[in-house]
Amino acid sequence: MTIEAIQEELIDEFSMFEDWMQRYEYMIDLGKSLPLIDENLKNDDKLIKGCQSKVWLNSELKEDKIIFTADSDAIITKGIIAVLVRVFSDQKPQAILDANTDFIDEIGLKEHLSPTRANGLVSMIKQMKMYALAYQTQLKN
Amino acid sequence: MPFNIQKIRNDFPILSRKVNGYPLVYLDNAATSQKPQQVIDSIVDYYSNYNANIHRGVHTLSQEATDAYEGARQKIQTHFNAKEAYEIIFTAGTTHGINLVANGFSEILKKGDEIIVSAMEHHSNIVPWQMLCEKTGAILKVIPMNKEGVLIFSEYEKLLSEKTKLVFVNHISNALGTINPIAEIIEKARQVGAAVLVDGAQSCSHVKPDLQKLDVDFYVTSAHKMCGPTGVGILYMKEEWGNKLPPYQGGGEMIAEVTFEKTTYAGLPHKFEAGTPNICGVIAFGAAIDYLNAIGFEEIEKYENELLKYATQKLLEIEGLKIYGTGPEKTSVVSFNIEGIHPYDIGTIVDKLGIAVRTGHHCAQPIMDFYKIPGTVRASFAFYNTLEEVDALVNAVKKAKMMLS
């Protein structure tokens, strides 16, 4: 599935809910299916800075696609990173670099997009794109 | 004046706004207080009617602005019961005041001298002293606290010696709400000849310190915590210290005479007020002090204690909820966590319900490390909060707990 298709799918899923509470509950549920980062990898190197809660993000290249795994000690944050992993994992680096993130607004998480918010959603996206850039460079060489 | 909560709430325009579709419940007063119309009006009045630079102008506006600015200094002197108005130095806030004192002590301290701070300090109260120690070779000692979040006095006594040059402690902890026994702390420091600096940022909206009675050397606070504007605060220093410490910043206002060969510094308080000060902020700070005194600090303290008692009791009814800072002497701050739930998650959900609380380490990481927690949820109450707002908080926390567990 392409990144755009997954984003459309998420927009569809979140549009079923009428209020923020249901959306948050759904996101928390998504967090439960997050592909978890290996416990041994939960160190400072994998920690995303700029979050009030802890977020660990790992990436590996399988063939020509990036596989993300992650975890967080806060469950709303875990839900947020789960949404991002669902969108960006198992994708080619160039596709991740080209992707826009407007869907976050459309699924009702706009308030998390402010760079000054302490949850670090912006930092998470930035980190994922950094990994994509690094692998992209690696693949070209 | 009888304590009329509805009348008081009507003074604060912000309290009638909605957040995320719910009436705002503002419980982040330890971070900053809201401002009453009287303070807002004083700012508008200044800029609308007598905005001018102070002290030097012979024209009428300048004289009016100077009178209002120096009038605020006198109001503040009376409020804190300082001996002289010139012992009140206007700063940009508490942190500025602390740095001014730390800078002064960099000329006084020698290698091996000791500075004592408490274990429940805000980051802004730790970093300037670490910098000072690096610069002078002085040593930083820390008064430990117990599980209730109360300083262990006997340990403090053990740390004191003739090497101690400065003791620095907050009057009230921002993260826990604990009231420290500053009178006793000052008295003990006196016995070894050490100076004492008290950070009153968290206390001045709840209690009215009597600086002469306390016999404290330095006292700092910020206007914005006590219904005044941001960007202004005071550093009280005893006259003898004011004469002893070197100026912090060079510039206009702080000089008596300047030639290219030599500059003579102005006397107190101008020696420490370089440049054009925050004139409007100072005047509005005066208005805030008037406002608080019109309500009365005894009334405020009594009412806030009721809020604290009620909030503590109601929150503790929630299963798995733990309060940090349970000492007998505390102000209206409740710092808590619910077992198994991250404070950030609770803060996010209650915000969606219109309730403003603080989550995180509250710039006091050493306290969080002490309890081995990532942070807490902190609800801090002011005299304009109500018992109904406490109920709203408790219900929101229950809702959050349901969603998050």
Q: What is the CATH number of the domain that holds B318?
A: 3.90.1150.10
In this structure, are B160 and B308 located in the same domain?
Answer: no
In this structure, are B359 and B398 located in the same domain?
Answer: yes
Task: Using an 8 Å CB-CB cutoff, list chain A residues near B374.
Answer: 53-54, 73
Q: What is the pLDDT of residue B337?
A: 95
DSSP B50: I
Task: Using an 8 Å CB-CB cutoff, list chain A residues near B344.
Answer: 52-53, 74, 76-77, 118-119
In this structure, are B156 and B290 located in the same domain?
Answer: yes
Q: Which helix (H) or strand (E) holds B189?
A: helix B182-191
Q: What is the pLDDT of residue B132?
A: 93
Instruction: Quote the mean pLDDT of chain B.
Output: 93
d(C-alpha B354, C-alpha B161), whole Å: 51
pTM of this prediction? 0.90
**Nearest C-alpha neighbor of B3 from the set B310, B313, B386, B390:** B386
Contacts of B133 (CB under 8 A, 6+ apart): B115, B139, B140
Tell me: pLDDT of B277 over 60.
yes
Q: What is the mean pLDDT of residues B237-241?
A: 96
Interface A-B: count of C-beta contacts within 8 A: 41
Mutate to test the interface with B, among A17, A25, A27, A53 (most CBs of B within 10 A): A53
Task: Using an 8 Å CB-CB cutoff, list chain A residues near B345.
Answer: 53, 74-77
Cβ-defined contact of B344 to A52 (cutoff 8 Å): yes
In this structure, are B69 and B10 located in the same domain?
Answer: no
Task: Using an 8 Å CB-CB cutoff, list chain B residues near A75.
Answer: 341-342, 345, 404
**Residues B173, B149 contacting (CB under 8 angstroms):** yes
* Backbone torsions φ then ψ of B17, nearest 5 degrees: -85, 165
In this structure, are B23 and B77 located in the same domain?
Answer: no
Q: How many domains does chain A have?
A: 1
pLDDT category, A113, cuts 50, 70, 90? low
Task: Using an 8 Å CB-CB cutoff, list chain A residues near B359.
Answer: 52, 118
Cβ-defined contact of B344 to A25 (cutoff 8 Å): no
Range of the domain at B397: 5-30+296-404
* Backbone torsions φ then ψ of B277, nearest 5 degrees: -80, 180
Q: What are the residues of chain A with a beta carbon less than 8 Å away from any beta carbon of chain B?
A: 20-21, 24-25, 28, 52-54, 73-77, 118-119
In this structure, are B375 and B323 located in the same domain?
Answer: yes
Which chain B residue has its CA at the smallest distance from A74's CA? B342
Least confident of B16-30, B205-219, B253-267: B253-267
Cβ-defined contact of B352 to A73 (cutoff 8 Å): no
List C-alpha distances in Å: B25 to B16, B193, B250: 9, 47, 44
pLDDT category, B282, cuts 50, 70, 90? very high
Q: Does B118 reside within a domain?
A: yes
pLDDT category, A67, cuts 50, 70, 90? very high
Instruction: Specify the higher pLDDT residue, B327 or A112.
Output: B327
SS3 B151: strand
Tell me: pLDDT of A116 over 60.
no
Cβ-defined contact of B403 to A25 (cutoff 8 Å): yes
**Nearest C-alpha neighbor of B122 from the set B369, B400, B364:** B364
Mutate to test the interface with A, among B348, B376, B402 (most CBs of A within 10 A): B348
Which chain B residue has its CA at the smallest distance from A78's CA? B345
Residue B122 tokens read as: 């805000």
Mutate to test the interface with A, among B19, B338, B345, B398 (most CBs of A within 10 A): B345
User: 10 Å Cβ neighbour count for A113?
Assistant: 15
Range of the domain at A107: 3-140
Tell me: pLDDT of B88 over 80.
yes
Residue where a domain terminates, one of B274, B294, B314: B294
Report, in angstroms and rounded to the nearest whole number, the Rg of chain A calculated over CA atoms.
14
User: 10 Å Cβ neighbour count for B275?
Assistant: 11
In this structure, are B313 and B172 located in the same domain?
Answer: no
Quote the minimal CA–CA distance from A99 to chain B in Å: 27
Quote the minimal CA–CA distance from B404 to chain A in Å: 7
Cβ-defined contact of B345 to A24 (cutoff 8 Å): no
Share of chain B above pLDDT 90, in %: 80
Cβ-defined contact of A75 to B345 (cutoff 8 Å): yes
In this structure, are B270 and B300 located in the same domain?
Answer: no
d(C-alpha B395, C-alpha B381), whole Å: 16
pLDDT category, B141, cuts 50, 70, 90? very high
Q: What are the residues of chain B with a beta carbon less than 8 Å away from any beta carbon of chain A?
A: 20, 341-342, 344-345, 348-349, 352, 359-360, 374-375, 403-404
Cβ-defined contact of A75 to B352 (cutoff 8 Å): no
Q: What is the pLDDT of residue B126?
A: 85
DSSP B223: G
**Nearest C-alpha neighbor of B196 from the set B215, B172, B174:** B215
pLDDT category, B2, cuts 50, 70, 90? low
Which chain A residue has its CA at the smallest distance from B396's CA? A21
Residues of B with catalytic function = 363
Residues of A with catalytic function = 51
* Backbone torsions φ then ψ of B199, nearest 5 degrees: -95, 110
**Residues B344, B331 contacting (CB under 8 angstroms):** no
Residue where a domain terminates, one of B294, B318, B350: B294
**Residues B132, B105 contacting (CB under 8 angstroms):** yes
Tens of pLDDT along B317-359?
Answer: 999 999 998 888 899 999 999 999 999 999 999 999 999 999 9
Cβ-defined contact of A53 to B404 (cutoff 8 Å): no
Q: Does B35 reside within a domain?
A: no
Residue B371 tokens read as: 């309890």
Least confident of A2-6, B254-258, B302-306: B254-258
**Minimum-distance CB partner of A118 among B349, B360, B403:** B360
In this structure, are B26 and B68 located in the same domain?
Answer: no
Residue where a domain terminates, one of B263, B294, B325: B294
> Which CATH number goes with the domain that contains A115?
3.90.1010.10
Tell me: pLDDT of A114 over 90.
no
Distance of CA B379 to the CA centre of its chain: 16
In this structure, are B277 and B140 located in the same domain?
Answer: yes
**Residues B205, B292 contacting (CB under 8 angstroms):** yes
d(C-alpha B360, C-alpha B3), whole Å: 34
Q: What is the pLDDT of residue B360?
A: 82
pLDDT category, A122, cuts 50, 70, 90? confident
Cβ-defined contact of A52 to B349 (cutoff 8 Å): no
Residue A83 tokens read as: 């949404």
Mutate to test the interface with B, among A25, A28, A76 (most CBs of B within 10 A): A76
Tell me: pLDDT of A138 over 90.
no
Q: How many domains does chain B have?
A: 2
SS3 B368: helix
Tens of pLDDT along B5-56?
Answer: 999 999 999 999 999 899 999 999 999 999 999 999 999 999 999 999 998 7
> Which CATH number goes with the domain that contains B70?
3.40.640.10
